[in-house]
């Protein structure tokens, strides 16, 4: 169990972060832990799963990862272990192959010469952009700095190092440049049953601007980002982070209040297309994706964490 405690700590400390990375890491951790269980397999692995789940109770990809792995079966410990390991490896493979596949599907939507806006730092979204560049398309990228944590700085370095011309702008300048964009491509933290996108704070107002000028707004999202619990009415909880990310100490000590939501919600009416590893779909199809990938089962009462302060 120490091993799991250590893994949990890494997620909590944000040594491991990003929706895809956390999910993959949790599957790996369960796999490794399962290899060491001698008896009481069901009880011990459940305890480990719960511990991991509690590190980021609102992360949809983590929930899906653990849920996928935990649907092992078998009569003996050996059978159970074997099946769990098989499932964990399947999930890990899912993570690894999905992003590649999204790049290959997404690139077909991009015309020969295009200017693309992106927000924050999504590996699935960048996978499309890089694929387009490698395919010899004439791509230029505008990236927002993505306050408060400036993930845009990572994005511009990453693209620049691939030789893609890139321009950094403040988050406030999105509408100013929107008329010149051919596409907006962003990633996803989660997709709900009614096609809403949960993603880095600021995404929804970018989508609104894209809609104003009818610039196609596309989301790159692996299917393990789709939230089966929203089918049961659950709303995705928006994490609120430390004021220190936003304000200098002197402002805080002067009694200035800070609100720092990490994500926001983009309703389906502003999304043109979601590019998943199983195809490019309209957001209204989220329900069907959930059904196909997660078996459509309504989650039980206890599987649901209800904290519905936000809705779109």
Instruction: Give 8 or 219: the residue with its C-beta nearer to its own copies.
Output: 219
Interacting stretch for its own copies, rule CB under 8 A, among 18-26, 30-38, 59-67, 303-311?
Answer: 303-311
Contact present, 18 and 123 (Cβ < 8 Å): yes
Quote the tokens at residue 121.
């730092």
Q: For residue 120, indicate whether it is catalytic.
A: yes
Q: Does 124 bind its own copies (CB under 8 A)?
A: no
Quick note: the x/- pattern for its own copies over 220-259, rule CB under 8 A, is ----------xxxxxx--x-------xxx--x--xxxxxx
Specify whether the CB–CB gap between 99 and 123 falls below 8 A: yes
Cα–Cα nearest to 238, from 288, 186, 196: 196
> Residue 292's Cα: distance from chain center in Å?
19
Of 38, 171, 189, 250, which one is the catalytic site residue? 189
Instruction: Confirm whether 209 is a catalytic residue.
Output: no
Asked whether the CA dihedral 206, 211, 212, 215 is positive or negative, the reply is positive
**Active-site position among 83, 120, 138, 264:** 120
CB of 72 to its own copies, least distance (A): 26
Pick out residues in 57-96 that bind its own copies (CB under 8 A). none
Nearest Cα neighbor of 289 from 222, 223, 205 is 223
Window contacting its own copies (CB under 8 A); options: 7-15, 32-40, 44-52, 286-294? 286-294
Residues 6 or more apart whose CB falls under 8 angstroms from that of 8 comprise 51, 52, 54, 55
Instruction: Report d(CA 233, CA 194) in Å as an integer.
Output: 10
Instruction: Out of 92, 107, 139, 186, point to the residue binding its own copies (CB under 8 A).
Output: 107
Which residues within the stretch 133-162 sit at the binding site for its own copies (CB under 8 A)? 142, 144-148, 153, 156-157, 160
DSSP state of 25: H
The rounded distance, in Å, linking the Cα atoms of 92 and 238 is 26
Site residues (CB under 8 A) for its own copies, limited to 162-221: 165-177, 179, 193-195, 200-202, 204-205, 208-209, 212-214, 216
Q: Shortest gap between Cβ of 222 and its own copies (angstroms)?
A: 15
* Residue 213 beta carbon to its own copies: minimum distance, rounded to whole angstroms: 5
| Contact of 45 with 30, CB cutoff 8 Å | yes
Q: What is the Rg, in whole angstroms, of the alpha carbon atoms belonging to the chain? A: 20
Contact pick of 108, 138, 242, 244 for its own copies (by CB under 8 A):
108
Q: Print the binding letters for residues 25-64 with its own copies: x by CB under 8 A, - otherwise.
A: ----------------------------------------
Minimal distance in Å, beta carbon 14 to its own copies? 19
Asked if the bond preceding 148 is cis, omega within 30° of 0, the reply is yes
- Give, rounded to a whole angstrom, the gap between the first and last alpha carbons of the chain: 40
Question: Annotated active-site positions, please?
Answer: 120, 189
């Amino acid at each position: 169990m120490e091993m799991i405690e250590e893994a949990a700590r890494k997620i909590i400390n944000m040594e491991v972060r990003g929706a895809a990375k956390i999910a993959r890491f949790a599957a790996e951790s369960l796999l490794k832990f399962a290899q060491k269980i001698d008896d009481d397999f069901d009880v011990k692995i459940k305890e480990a799963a719960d511990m991991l789940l509690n590190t980021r109770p609102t992360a949809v990809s983590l929930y899906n990862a653990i849920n996928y792995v935990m649907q092992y079966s078998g009569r003996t410990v050996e059978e159970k272990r074997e099946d769990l390991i098989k499932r964990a490896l399947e999930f890990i493979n899912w993570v690894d192959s999905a992003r590649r596949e999204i790049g290959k599907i997404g690139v077909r939507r991009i015309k020969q010469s295009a200017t693309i806006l992106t927000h924050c730092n999504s590996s699935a979204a960048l996978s499309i952009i890089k694929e387009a560049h490698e395919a010899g398309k004439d791509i230029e990228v505008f990236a927002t700095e993505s306050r408060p944590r400036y993930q845009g700085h990572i994005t511009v370095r990453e693209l620049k190092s691939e030789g893609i011309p890139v321009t950094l702008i403040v988050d406030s300048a999105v509408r100013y440049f929107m008329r010149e964009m051919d596409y907006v491509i962003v990633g996803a933290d989660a997709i709900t049953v009614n096609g809403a996108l949960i993603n880095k704070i600021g995404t929804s107002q970018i989508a609104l601007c894209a809609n104003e000028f009818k610039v196609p707004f596309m989301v790159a999202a692996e299917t393990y980002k789709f939230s089966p619990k929203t089918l049961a009415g659950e709303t995705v909880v928006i994490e609120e982070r430390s004021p220190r990310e936003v304000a200098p100490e002197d402002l805080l000590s002067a009694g200035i209040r800070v609100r720092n939501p990490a994500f926001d919600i983009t309703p389906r009416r502003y999304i043109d297309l979601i590019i998943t590893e199983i195809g490019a779909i309209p957001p209204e199809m989220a329900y069907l994706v959930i059904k196909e990938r997660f078996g459509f089962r309504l989650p039980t009462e206890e599987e649901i964490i209800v904290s519905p302060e936000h809705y779109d």
